[in-house]
Homo-oligomer: A and B are copies of this chain.
């Protein structure tokens, strides 16, 4: 019956559109990667949050008082901890401001309260620092001079790009000087033969995508925050996103970075192969500005392919989802560009809370999968996807499915997957986790947690199945200690036990700095700390973040 349905030609309506990915709903306000966090206010109107960490944090935003305290309220098994401003850091004085004005000119040394208010606050309005100064360097040389000065004065700094991070990594914790690279926004070179783009760190991702579009290329990453985020920030945080399954992580990128003492490390080669010594660029990719400030980026872009197809399918069980992934990698391998999944609880939530959304397949199933292909030949790619779906249907892996007929239909399919975050926010309190797990374990944690919580909450699982990245969400009427106590540290321990990662794509920032041991061994963290000390002996670069505070208490 379902087989017949898929076989009827009118159901195999397709589309081929060059700019499909670009036409997905712009999610700047609720980015794809927002999961793992929720902003909420407690009964006294104070900022209050749930995060992926075994502490339940209450950040008290005390304005500009130096020595301000971030109080951690502990619900998990760990003891309460606090972050205090490091007393060894100097406080900014008027002589410092004059020195910065000499380096940058008056205009690019920002003391204006309103602009500082914005720069001190992250986009979720969850983290707020009290910096009194933002510097806007125009080039690498100026970044080098600033850092040299700050290092000599032991002034702490926070590197900032588009400030779209989700772990409090891009705003000051206390009074760190903000170094925003937004003025460094030039494309420096593009080579149509190799596809290598060289640009400054402050280029906005979407602007680069627009520039490349005219050349027939695409960026190898696509993020919800692309309208604001900077490529330097993307590289510094090793941003993930929807194209990772196809083009891999940003560790393929090369770059120029400036270390704490102002040394410029030129690792900006445009070569695909270079085996001359240690590949240091990887230290700066994903270290969240704690080892150096990325000033230029050289990145391998991809030819824009002309044919995009999107299928929405339903499956009875998670084992079938896994099998479809294996088959898709084998049969669609070279054209597979996205493999996303959601469970029925997620689908219900979207249908109940978002207007104008309908289930593309008429039947209700336990799981739904979006499979996108991107290739160079519309007819071939379409036939490949159709043949693949038919085969999956014959094998009983798929119970129903449709292929989008045009951009609007494709957009409506993506709306379901991308609308989950919005629907969750409308549904009440939500405890969000962003985990990397072996694919075969991904849904076990959802089931285990569902059993553990019973009637107390609605547990949902969705995410980038092709990358082993689960967005685990627990929706409840309100936030309460009992529920948190049941979830944490259970989720982290479960993740750790299955060799998962407590941060698949968001980084650690200030939020999860203390939770690193759930994913990394003490030996590994010790070496990280030594490398931090090596490249930033005075600890001025993005302090209180990435590494456990205990390692740097004094």
Contacts and interface: CB of A to CB of B under 8 A. Distances in A.
A524 to B, nearest CB: 5
A278 B291 contact: yes
B524 A534 contact: no
A277 interface: yes
A533 to B, nearest CB: 9
A195 B380 contact: no
A270 B438 contact: yes
B276 A502 contact: yes
A383 B380 contact: yes
A295 interface: no
A508 B277 contact: yes
| Chain B CB within 10 Å, residue with most, of A216, A499, A512 | A499
A269 B499 contact: yes
A467 B273 contact: yes
A1 interface: no
A448 interface: no
A374 B330 CA distance: 12
Given A248-B252, A333-B305, A504-B274, A524 B267 contact: yes
Nearest to A269: B499
A214 interface: no
A286 interface: yes
Contacts of A516: 276-277
A283 B278 contact: yes
Nearest to A276: B519
A289 interface: no
- Of A248, A268, A535, the most chain B CB neighbours within 10 A belong to A248
A303 interface: yes
Contacts of A502: 276
Contacts of A272: 244, 249, 436, 467-469
A24 interface: no
Interface string A444-472: 00000000000000000000100111000
A271 B500 contact: yes
B523 A263 contact: yes
A268 B438 CA distance: 12
Interface in A203-217: 216
Contacts of A237: 275
A324 to B, nearest CB: 10
22 contacts: A191-B438, A194-B438, A216-B330, A237-B275, A244-B272, A249-B273, A265-B521, A273-B436, A274-B519, A275-B506, A275-B508, A276-B520, A278-B531, A279-B283, A305-B330, A305-B333, A305-B334, A330-B376, A334-B334, A377-B384, A527-B534, A530-B534
Q: Which 10 A-B pairs have the closest CB atoms?
A: A282-B282, A334-B334, A274-B501, A380-B380, A303-B330, A276-B519, A273-B504, A271-B436, A193-B439, A272-B467
